[in-house]
Structure formats: structure tokens, C-alpha cells
Amino acid sequence: MTITNTKNVREFAQKRAIRLYPAYLSAVVITFLMVRLYGLEGRGVSSFEALFNIRMLQGFVRIINHVDGAYWSLTVELTFYILIGIILYFGQINNVYALPILWLISSFIIQVANVVSNDHIITKALIYFSIADYSHLFIVGIVFYFIKINLHQKYYIILISSLIYQFAISY
């Protein structure tokens, strides 16, 4: 929905930052202080890690712990935003209806390659950077928006395909 009302990557990034960052920053600070105040063992992070968390990039640096474990999903969300930014940058916004199908097919191929290669480091990296473990969930969100603005049967095929994908990768 955001990219349909966005002119360029910079505007898209600004809209996402304005939406996410104030609440995230507040949550990081409050969580860090409460854990410190109450001395919750096993839940604390260093001051350095807390400062690194403020950047929202800790999920991309495996040695930095999250202030709160629930923030793991931000890495997936930020990766999605990066992928959308790439689409915007290359002017592929007009292909936004075909992209969920291509992404789902690509994710399936990557998952199959990972199984065949017995969790090879390259296929694991592809899964991580393409967020193939979560792509179907983003695709469903995109499709729900498409259905909202233009009810069309082809979108239901994508929803069913995403459901099948979920069961296929849950082996």
C-alpha cells in the first residue's frame, strides 16, 4: 500500500522510518531500563548492545543480542523493505502484481535447493537474504491489499499457493 503512494526510494524509507522508529526507540529504551532496574537474569544486554539495537540493525550482526527477543522479526521486516526499495529503485512498481508470484516461485526453488543440498551454506544464505522462510506471509499481505482495491480471482490463486507453500516448507 505504501509503495503505491510513494514517488521514490527515499520517500519510501522516510515513511517506513516515521512509522516504525519512534515506537521502536521507546520500546528499546524502556525494555533496557526495566531489565537493568529489575535485574532480570539472562535477559540483559550490554550498554553497547543496547546502543547498537537503537539502529535496528542487530539482527544483521549475529554477535549482537536483541534488547528484547521479539525484535527478531524486525530483521525480516527490514529485509522486506530493502527488497521493496530495490523494486522502487529499478522502476518495477508497475510489475508489482507479478512480483509476488515470482517471489513465491523463487522462494520455493530456494527451499527445494536447500533440501537437496542438505542445508548448504549458500542456500541457507539465500533463504536468509530473500526471507524465503517468511516470503509467503508478506505475499499474503500484499495480496490482501490487492483484493481490497480490486477483487479478482487470480489473487485467490496466490493465496492458495502461499498456503501450500507454508505446508511445504514446514516439513
* pLDDT single digits (tens) 15-58: 999 999 999 999 999 999 999 998 877 778 899 999 999 999 99
The DSSP line for 52-120 is HHHTT-GGGSTTSPPSSGGGHHHHHHHHHHHHHHHHHHTT-GGGTTTHHHHHHHHHHHHHHHHHHTTS-
pLDDT tens digits for range 142-164: 889 888 888 777 788 899 999 99
pTM for this model (two decimals): 0.82
Question: Residue 96 pLDDT > 90, yes or no?
Answer: no
